[in-house]
Amino acid sequence: MSDSFPFSNFEQQHQWYQDIDNANRNNIFCHCRACGYEWMDSKKEATCVKCGNKDVESISAWQFPDD
């Protein structure tokens, strides 16, 4: 196994992606660059819920500590 590939089989890789999807559920911080509105969502490719703009910055909030 290569050092650059951390999974020993397809099932482990699939489970890792599933775990990331579960962590992202309702846990993506979104910020509209047009109107400044901020909200939590489940998808990174969000459209602003206030003004409809597609220029939205999104960050997986679970990546940051709570303190």
Mean pLDDT of 14-26: 80
Residues 6+ apart with CB under 8 A from 62: 23, 24, 27
Residue spans of the domains in the chain: they are 28-67
- Asked if residue 66 has pLDDT above 50, the reply is yes
> Which residues, listed in sequence order, are joined to residue 46 by a DSSP beta bridge?
none
- Asked if residue 43 has pLDDT above 90, the reply is no
Predicted TM-score (pTM) of the model is 0.63
Answer with the residue of higher pLDDT: 8 or 51.
51
Alpha-carbon span 60 to 55, nearest angstrom: 17
